[in-house]
Structure 1
């Protein structure tokens, strides 16, 4: 009987030994990374956006247009915004001819079908089309990004805590690991293929720095395109893509509150008038 199970027992013992070595090897690094993350992780910067005020906050149309320019020239090479149609850009101040030109000149064409053969094809985008994704599928996206999948940015400002402040801080927060971190936690060194960013959850992010230098884009309104400025502009644009009806919602809310105040006053006045002079 022992001869029958002897090979299996050998394999199990060997597997247990290897597992113990792997756990012993990984645990110190995991503990170091966790400690480093707890100590060196930063909360988003305090940034004043024109839409921050929950009552009277509004979008700055010029900032949204600058943010769209940053998205178009930098971010759209990897990230999609598939919930946004080109014609939606009229809401941030672009004219119909400008929107048509933006759609026609977009780097990635819109998927279509050849009417003669029925085969898959592409065509120039129309204002009614949504912004096309830069990759044909997830496999191609991962292959082009070291197996990391660039997320869609349409709702990113609502999908992350602190929304646009987090996005702006993250985009402008890349840098070398602090010497203090490496001195205290040598095992927490940023792995190859990742990039140190103290605003990211575990300090190391797969996305390379997208905004690398001042003047990376040229703003038509003359605004100086510093890295923090570009980061804040694209963060504002992504707040708009996530909640394009923000201003309408706030106006509606104010109108409802005013109506309720007036209705409450009228109801109280009617109550006082009906019961005036009556004893309980």
Structure 2
């Protein structure tokens, strides 16, 4: 009796699945998906070739420092790093004195309250502070950016699919002239006033103007030639670090776990052979 009930339940389950599949297929045949500009003209990210990519990836400290310089001189005008502290920069090779100097010289000071008057005031940053937002609040941020809210960049490399390559492609190679073929096929997709065409952005139109506009926009402290492509790679490396500063430790732990499992399998196999060797016929 139990087998009969189980068979009936299984048959009903299969019938419902088949019915759902038939409905999906028939709907797709009768109403095929409409071709969109995003589907046809959106590009997949280019490979940035970062040293942190891959199973054995490690950060190139010099490159990440250059990326921090790009963030400091270009990106920090609009974007915050609210989950990163100044003292975290010691992980990139900066010593304590350099971190103190970077924090103290940061163009945006920390908001505070004057203890004598009770009025809002500011104070210089210290290493334990997190990077301050360039705007007092979201309203001020929108007012300064054509009603667009610049996202925080702390976790951007984790928040977007293929994050490091996405950032590299978006800021370094995404801003191109809108293809004439796109306007011909999809007239309504013409980039509106105030937005910028970017072939790597989800809907092809982004509020952020091109941040990297010319070679030499940043003068690297280590003498590296600051081409637009190089700056895009470096800032994507830096934002990969801000999103996952313990990436190297995770990779090392993963490698150790794999080695342990391989050794354990051999030991288990050897134990099995030893225990059962006298019982085999």
Instruction: Tell me the TM-score normalised to structure 2 length.
Output: 0.84
1:157 aligns with 2:157: yes
Q: Give the Cα separation in 1 of the matches to 2:267 and 2:40.
A: 57
Structure 2 partner of 1:179: 180
Which residues of 2 match residues 6-85 of structure 1 at below 5 A? 35-54=36-55, 56-85=56-85
In the other structure, the counterpart of 2:208 is 207
**Judging changes above 3 Å, is the alpha-carbon distance between structure 1 residues 203 and 34 closer, same or farther for their aligned structure 2 residues?**
farther
1:262 and 2:263 are equivalent in the alignment: yes
Aligned to 1:193: 194
2:240 paired residue number: 239
**Residue of structure 2 in register with 1:124 after alignment:** 124
* Superposed displacement of residue 202, structure 1: 1.2
Shift of 1:46: 2.4
Give 1:93 deviation, angstroms.
1.3
**Structure-2 residue corresponding to 1:13:** none
Q: What SS does structure 1 have at the residue aligned with 2:36?
A: helix
Counterparts of 2:38 and 2:262 in 1: how far apart (Å)?
49
Return the alpha-carbon distance in structure 2 between the equivalents of residues 161 and 254 of structure 1.
Answer: 24
3-state SS in 2 of match to 1:175: coil
Separation in 1 of the partners of 2:272 and 2:180?
72
C-alpha RMSD of the superposition:
1.7
Map 1:105-144 → 2, pairs under 5 A: 105-144=105-144
Distance 1:34 1:114 in 2: 59
3-state SS, counterpart of residue 241 of structure 2:
helix
Q: How many residues align?
A: 247
The yes-or-no answer on 1:86 pairing with 2:86 is yes
Distance in structure 2 (CA, Å) of the matches to 1:143 and 1:78: 12
The one-character-per-residue Cα deviations of 1:189-235 (angstroms, maximum 9, x if unpaired) are 21110011111111111111111111000011121111111111101
Q: 109-118 or 38-47: which moved more?
A: 109-118
Q: Distance in 2 between matches of 1:94 and 1:42?
A: 37
Q: Deviations over 1:214-261 (max 9, x none)?
A: 100001112111111111110111111000000001111111222222
The gaps in structure 2 that reach 5 residues or longer are: 1-33
Q: 1:47, 1:241 → 2: CA distance?
A: 17
- What TM-score comes out, normalization by structure 1 length? 0.84
Instruction: Give the whole-Å Cα distance in 2 for the aligned partners of 1:252 and 1:82.
Output: 28
Deviation, structure 1 residue 179: 2.4
1:50 and 1:174 map into 2 onto residues whose CA distance is: 25
Change (3 A) 1:264 1:148: same
How many angstroms apart in 2 are the aligned matches of 1:214 and 1:279? 74
In structure 2, the CA distance between the partners of 1:34 and 1:94, relative to structure 1 (3 Å rule), is farther
- Give a deviation string over 1:80-122, Cα, whole Å, max 9, x none: 0100000101111111111111100001001222233343321
Cα distance in 2 for residues equivalent to 1:140 and 1:162: 31
